Structure 1
Amino acid sequence: MKKLSKKPLVAIIGRPNVGKSTLFNRLVGRKKAIVHETSGITRDRIEGIVEWNEREFLLADLAGWEEKLDSPFEDEVKEIIDETIERAELLLFMVDGRSGLIPQDKILAKKVRRLGKITILLVNKIDHPDMEKYQGEFLGLGFDKTLMISAAHSRSINDVLDEIIEMLEFPDDDSDDESGNTIGLALIGRQNVGKSSLFNFLLGNKRSIVSPIPGTTRDSVDAWFKYENQKYAIVDTAGLKKQSRTTEDVDYYSAVRARRSLDRADIALFMLDAQDGVLDTDLKIADTIEKSRRGVVMLANKWDLAKKDTPQNRTEFEKHIRKKVHFFSHVPIVFTSGLKGIGIEDLIKAINLVHLNFNLRIQTSELNRIITDAYEHRPPQSYRGRAPKVFYTHQVSAAPPTFQFFVNDPKLFHSNYRKYLEKQVRRVFGFDGAPLLIFYKQRKKTKSTLQA
């Protein structure tokens, strides 16, 4: 897998709770990183694209740096921080202007200076000009540039952007970046099904923490990669819980962020744990995905740990999924191990197929022919002496495929018959993994295109 990025990388670093995520959201232009008064919320590396003065760069928000982390993920967090700082072309070193310079800031500043990276020191939470008198104690840290800012109140944010653009070197050729014909993916599933393992395998580096502890990923983590000349944008979302268990503020915002990531994607990669089968929480998530009207690929992950990989076992497990998640009967199922990279080629093929179907358009004449044949093969039952009639059908739009059926009275078409007509459209045109939106609209004219 080739990771995409010709855009220079800028990383925000600093101790916990100095305002890094607030600055990240301000620069990216939307609330992408979770901001909360509890320190240590950001664990993974969150990335976003920032555009300023016709230039673009990647911005990374990192976990707060501490000499000794009080966390079971200490090694993983430090590995992500170190790897990102090594890749970054410019560092935004943030300190808290209200609390002043503390020993932890000095220790981190010393480590950063040793790297020899271009660094801008941002003294945050300077909400009023009269607070700039405290600037002197920070100048001794010895960085290239020092700016007094307030991320929460947008104070001097434009100056930060101007300095970044001035200090960075930009490539002349942007032909291979994240723009263009990119397929948007959202990894969705309950906690601890293996989303971050697959995410990291696809990217080829550790962007998300992989741990057996449920709830490790709190933010939605964006990245881009390329596979056989096709570009993909992928989001690793926080694991979703049952609604009654989403009580902690951070869990609530993580769930909201996961659902918003789903809305931005073309395709949901709905991950199940093959060791557990389909649980009630999975069904709740499947319902959320269905309502989002995105394309869907289902992943039976950790397949290597669940059963011996035989055609019979795959068939039996697929039957189990189809029975439980019956409304996804049209969705392809891929057997994977994100940790070991099993099933990746099958997954990419399924993604490309669903993306094609999600954007598929059908000729009006072909669509009307199929509906006519279906109607004649199995005419709908009359209701109170009135026979349901379809006059004309056409596709209104794609992504998702949306159709309009002009009929004599929508109320005459019961749900079973509507499902029958949708099934006939799928039988002929496929649409595997894509939702079909069919709207029935009353047409008062009696002249029929399909039937008299």
Structure 2
Amino acid sequence: MYRVAIVGRPNVGKSSLFNRIIGKRKAIVEDIPGVTRDRIVSTADWRGVTFEIVDTGGYIESDRDTFAPYIRKQIEKEIELSDAFILVVDGREGLTPADKEIARLLHRTDKPVYVAVNKIDNPDMEKSIYEFYELGFDKVFPVSSIQKYGVADLLDAVVQDIPEYEKKASEEKSKPEEKSEIIKVAIVGKPNAGKSSLLNAILGEERAVVSDIPGTTRDVIDTLFEWKGQKFLFLDTAGLRKKSKVDYGIEFFSVGRTLDAIKKADVIVHVIDAQQGATEQDTKIAHLIQKYTKPAVVVINKIDTVPPKSEVLNRIKNQVRERLYFIPYAPIVMTSAKNKKGIKQLLKEIIDVYNQSWKRVGTGQLNRAIKQVLSLRQPPSYHGKPLKIYYATQLEGKPPCFLLFVNYPEGFKDHFLKFLENNLRTVLGFEKAPIKLLLRGKENRQD
């Protein structure tokens, strides 16, 4: 059986990652360097692929530790026995001489090595991973064993290198993702923005606990609901608040569950308090929606608490749109959960957004649309040569993803791609859905 060894210096989170991968607490986890002395072997399963996972003792540089020579011997033995390695490093502490020493050992083999930069507890910390490329491995992943952040991406890379996986992967790709009859909806937003009240208004019953105390909802509540023949699965999540205001405990982990709900949902409902408008924290939540390319509806809730004048409501709506300019595709709905206003419009928008996220266009229509957009603005030159888009095609799945064959992929800068993306959404009828553009170089460039 394919064998993957987890290696690294003491106290970087190897055992926590091991437990996360196998799905149970088999390895001893303690915040004391060198707790895991022996190798622990278990069977793991990911994407239908089974493999052995090994938790090794922490690598210790100095012989002053009684167990150091023994642990080094165990790691060196695993280099012989294992087919691949996960090198765990501490993203908070940064790169250390011990990390470099272990990397030198692993470079003696041509087996795959995946660097797991652990303790990356939120997306803002991802930039700290770059120094670990100095170890000489190109597969570097930000992870948090505690919150499960990034572990899926790490395991995806591992199983892709397993020979038996290639056949399974091709079989899965031959079965295109199917549109579900149930729309999974994650309701997110700052604490006390009215998420639970909104869910109760939709359901017509007191299903979620409602309170004026921020953070009342600690977990994700799954609720099945049907409206006009359409089924919804609502995930009423705990509110996301600034990290500095989150205590390490129940609420800390609820943030992780909210992120999981965002990843799993088909549509995100981002609830904003009408009195406060879009705050800095709301922009961070919207950035998560953008990062995971999620279809979304922005809800300005509690409109019953502001003057019912059109100029007031328009001012609030314009402020929200300006602050959340990077998700322009998300329609805005104004609601009052208390008075049950705007609920039907919200449900209609969720359905429209979901359907657009599954929309497909023909290759001919897509390429005509690109030609139309380029007539408005040609791409800039790159090293004195004009950038060209030869043709494009839509890939399977959602959100809508378009593969563009170009002459110099590296020459297309973000500002031009954003211009192209925004105009394609309008021309192709994706006004309410995000789209992704992927660039691929064409071998025979027509310079």
TM-score range, shorter chain: 0.5 to 0.7
Equivalence for 1:285: 285
Equivalence for 2:15: none
Q: Does 1:182 align with 2:182?
A: yes
Change (3 A) 1:180 1:289: closer
Equivalence for 1:20: none
Tell me the amino acid that sits aligned with residue 312 of structure 2.
N
- For 2:346 and 2:376, the matched residues in 1 are separated by 37
CA contact (8 A) 1:353 1:432 kept: no
Equivalence for 1:296: 296
Equivalence for 1:389: 388
CA contact (8 A) 1:189 1:239 kept: yes
Tell me the amino acid that sits aligned with residue 235 of structure 1.
L
- For 2:422 and 2:209, the matched residues in 1 are separated by 42
Q: Which has the higher contact order (CA 8 A, sep 6+)?
A: 1
Displacement after TM superposition at 1:433 (Å): 3.2
Q: What is the correspondence of 1:288-437 to structure 2 with a 5 Å cutoff?
A: 288-310=288-310, 312-437=311-436
**Secondary structure, counterpart of 2:184 in structure 1:** strand
CA contact (8 A) 2:373 2:424 kept: no
Displacement after TM superposition at 1:301 (Å): 0.3
Tell me the amino acid that sits aligned with residue 203 of structure 1.
L
Equivalence for 1:245: 245
Displacement after TM superposition at 1:322 (Å): 1.4
- The structure with the largest alpha-carbon Rg is 1
Tell me the amino acid that sits aligned with residue 298 of structure 2.
M
Tell me the amino acid that sits aligned with residue 209 of structure 1.
V
Q: Once the two structures are superposed, what CA deviation does each residue of 1:178-219 show, in whole Å capped at 9, x if it has no partner?
A: x96011100000100000011112222222111111110001
CA contact (8 A) 1:397 1:403 kept: no
Segment of structure 1 superposing worse, 370-379 or 335-344: 370-379
**Secondary structure, counterpart of 1:208 in structure 2:** coil
CA contact (8 A) 2:197 2:338 kept: yes
CA contact (8 A) 1:221 1:237 kept: yes
- For 1:431 and 1:218, the matched residues in 2 are separated by 35
- For 1:381 and 1:180, the matched residues in 2 are separated by 41
Tell me the amino acid that sits aligned with residue 385 of structure 2.
R
**Secondary structure, counterpart of 1:272 in structure 2:** strand
- For 1:180 and 1:370, the matched residues in 2 are separated by 29
Displacement after TM superposition at 1:258 (Å): 1.1
Displacement after TM superposition at 1:226 (Å): 0.7
Q: Once the two structures are superposed, what CA deviation does each residue of 1:20-70 show, in whole Å capped at 9, x if it has no partner?
A: xxxxxxxxxx99xxxxxxxxxxxxxxxxxxxxxxxxxxxxxxxxxxxxxxx
**Secondary structure, counterpart of 1:327 in structure 2:** coil
Tell me the amino acid that sits aligned with residue 316 of structure 2.
F
Displacement after TM superposition at 1:255 (Å): 0.7
Tell me the amino acid that sits aligned with residue 317 of structure 2.
E
Tell me the amino acid that sits aligned with residue 421 of structure 1.
L
Q: What is the correspondence of 1:151-230 to structure 2 with a 5 Å cutoff?
A: 181-230=181-230
Q: Once the two structures are superposed, what CA deviation does each residue of 1:54-99 show, in whole Å capped at 9, x if it has no partner?
A: xxxxxxxxxxxxxxxxxxxxxxxxxxxxxxxxxxxxxxxxxxxxxx
- For 2:376 and 2:353, the matched residues in 1 are separated by 29
- For 2:315 and 2:332, the matched residues in 1 are separated by 12
CA contact (8 A) 2:201 2:343 kept: no
- For 2:202 and 2:246, the matched residues in 1 are separated by 29
- For 2:375 and 2:300, the matched residues in 1 are separated by 40
**Secondary structure, counterpart of 2:290 in structure 1:** helix
Equivalence for 1:440: 439
Displacement after TM superposition at 1:359 (Å): 0.8
Equivalence for 1:70: none
Change (3 A) 1:249 1:433: farther
TM-score by length of 2: 0.58
What runs of 5+ residues in structure 1 fail to find an aligned partner?
A: 1-29, 32-178
Q: Once the two structures are superposed, what CA deviation does each residue of 1:211-268 show, in whole Å capped at 9, x if it has no partner?
A: 1111100010000111111111101000111122222310111111111111111000
**Secondary structure, counterpart of 1:377 in structure 2:** coil
Tell me the amino acid that sits aligned with residue 357 of structure 1.
Q
- For 2:373 and 2:430, the matched residues in 1 are separated by 17
- For 1:445 and 1:376, the matched residues in 2 are separated by 24
Q: What is the correspondence of 1:86-105 to structure 2 with a 5 Å cutoff?
A: none
Displacement after TM superposition at 1:443 (Å): 0.8
Tell me the amino acid that sits aligned with residue 224 of structure 2.
W
Structure 1's consecutive aligned runs of 4 or more residues displaced over 6 angstroms after TM superposition are none
Q: Once the two structures are superposed, what CA deviation does each residue of 1:120-150 show, in whole Å capped at 9, x if it has no partner?
A: xxxxxxxxxxxxxxxxxxxxxxxxxxxxxxx
Tell me the amino acid that sits aligned with residue 307 of structure 1.
P
Displacement after TM superposition at 1:373 (Å): 2.1
Segment of structure 1 superposing worse, 181-190 or 425-434: 425-434
What runs of 5+ residues in structure 2 fail to find an aligned partner?
A: 1-22, 25-178
Q: Once the two structures are superposed, what CA deviation does each residue of 1:395-441 show, in whole Å capped at 9, x if it has no partner?
A: 11232111111100112212221112112211212323322111111
CA contact (8 A) 1:322 1:329 kept: yes
TM-score by length of 1: 0.58
Tell me the amino acid that sits aligned with residue 276 of structure 1.
Q
Q: Once the two structures are superposed, what CA deviation does each residue of 1:288-333 show, in whole Å capped at 9, x if it has no partner?
A: 12212211000000011123142x3332222111111110222100
Tell me the amino acid that sits aligned with residue 388 of structure 2.
K
Equivalence for 1:113: none
CA contact (8 A) 1:360 1:398 kept: no
CA RMSD of aligned residues (A): 1.9
- For 2:251 and 2:425, the matched residues in 1 are separated by 38
Equivalence for 1:11: none
* Amino-acid identity (%): 35
**Secondary structure, counterpart of 1:347 in structure 2:** helix
